[in-house]
Amino acid sequence: MTNPVQRAIAAHEQRFLAELIEACRIPSVSGDAQALQTMADWTLARLQRLGAQTALWPTTDGPPVVWAEIGAGPRSLTSYSHYDVQPADPLELWHSPAFEPTVRDGKLFARGVADDKGDLLSRIHAVEIYQALYGDLPLRFKFFVEGEEEVGSPHLAPVAAAHADSIRADGCLWESGGFDSQERYTLYLGVKGIQYVELSARGATSDLHSAYGAIAPNPAWRLVQALNTLKAPDDTILIDDFAAHVRPITPLEEAYLDRIPFEGEAMKARWGIPAFINDIANRQALQRFLYAPTCTICGLRAGFIEEGQKTVLPSLATVKLDFRLVPDLTPELVLRLLREHLDRRGYQDIHIRPMSALAPSRAHPEAAIVQAVTASVAAVYGHDPVIYPSHGGSGPLYALGEGLGVDAVTVGVGYPGVNMHAPNENIRLADYFKQIEFLVDLFRRFGTAAA
């Protein structure tokens, strides 16, 4: 037996699929200015057809942000999506052309269909279904659709700051949610931040014969010795005052750990490792993954590292590090603490080159939007969602979330086999249409709850 929402969606399935295919045909690969503008214009026109008030917010030397607002009511809800996609390479591994969307086995295959055009179009289609069945939305729904997510969202923060009054809302729906490997709908309430840096040490003006290692400084050793001050053998981060700026987790966040399925043994087997760091148990591993900051060596380079041997004293040594950040560790703070830590130990000569940076963001588990999404998942999908208070990875959430005092939660059309950023990216069409039903329920639940 179907309900009116399901029947309305079924009546429009073919048109909705055709529109999703049309969007995925646009090869809006990051860096392709013409294709990005085409996709921005397409998105703008589609939102205008909803009856939304729309605008293109320009960026400095980048693609515009598509902005739209529709509906009326005491509450507002911002939707974050992006219209840029990853390159399709390697093309030879696709079973059908990346920008010729193809339906196979109940799935739609295309570059960008999971990341993130499926999420974007499902939200547009949900607004249309709600309007057709019930009239005007009972809340102000705001679309924020950027074109630079795949290259680190370099202009998101300044655009968000410039339009903060328009963007600020009673909640935010982030992109990239969906099902886990056990078909449980999964929500994330935040992300870690990141500060990526390159450290370098210099010696002689050029590489020397290694015989001079007896008298000439070796920047590789210098850098290794500096790195050795950053972490203890038990993986504790030793940077002065670093730990003092880590916000303690709350009892409620602690309690969430008991509800999260963490398949630690399967994870270790898949990675081919005998144990987690310090042989910690699964629960502690989950807690560290969600709540602990990191300091990771991503790559080291110095001297001769090719096959064979070459007796050389390198003139330059570099290392790339990333710090995954939790509240209240900001990228600016980490850079300052790192510089001061090295300087106190006599490593003023170690050069720090800041690279990408994102602040952490975390919603309150009892926020109204979290409660509404949780209830709508239970009503539409038939089970309570698995809720992660944070993700171990990073994203540009802060500028639209905690930075504006807004609680954000991920919802989307994903599942473990989407092949995001890989050949044969896809979504399951049943998930797509169910997501529309879920969003319609959420509009009603979140909008009318404040009435």
**With DSSP H G I counted as helix, E B as strand and the rest as coil, what are the percentages for the chain, rounded to 5?**
40, 25, 35
The predicted-structure confidence for 58-97, as pLDDT tens digits, reads as follows 999 999 999 999 999 999 999 999 999 999 999 999 999 9
Q: How far apart are CA 333 and CA 95, in angstroms?
A: 47
Q: Spell out the domain ranges in the chain.
A: 4-189+363-449, 192-246+292-358
The predicted-structure confidence for 220-234, as pLDDT tens digits, reads as follows 999 999 999 999 999
pLDDT for 451 equals 57
Say whether pLDDT at 134 is over 80.
Answer: yes
pLDDT for 16 equals 98
Asked, colleague to colleague, whether 4-189+363-449 and 192-246+292-358 share their fold, the answer is no
The predicted-structure confidence for 14-28, as pLDDT tens digits, reads as follows 999 999 999 999 999
State the average pLDDT over residues 3-10. 97
Name the E strands within 4-152.
Answer: 53-59, 62-70, 76-82, 102-104, 107-109, 140-146
pLDDT for 339 equals 98
Instruction: Classify residue 234 as exposed, middle or buried by CB count within 10 Å of its CB (0-12, 13-18, 19+).
Output: exposed
End-to-end Cα separation, the chain, in angstroms: 31
Average model confidence (pLDDT) for the chain? Answer: 96
The predicted-structure confidence for 414-427, as pLDDT tens digits, reads as follows 999 999 999 999 99
State the average pLDDT over residues 385-407. 92
Label residue 176 by pLDDT band (50, 70, 90). Answer: confident
What share of the chain in percent tops pLDDT 90? Answer: 92
State the average pLDDT over residues 184-199. 96
Q: How far apart are CA 42 and CA 35, in angstroms?
A: 10
State the average pLDDT over residues 371-389. 96
Beta-carbon neighbour count of residue 49 at 10 Å? 10
Task: Let me know if domain 192-246+292-358 sits in CATH 3.30.565.10.
Answer: no
State the average pLDDT over residues 115-123. 97
The predicted-structure confidence for 157-174, as pLDDT tens digits, reads as follows 999 999 999 999 999 999
Classified by CATH at the fold level, domain 4-189+363-449 comes out as: Aminopeptidase (3.40.630)
pLDDT for 450 equals 66
State the average pLDDT over residues 361-369. 94
State the average pLDDT over residues 181-206. 96
pLDDT for 253 equals 86
State the average pLDDT over residues 340-355. 98
Label residue 1 by pLDDT band (50, 70, 90). Answer: confident
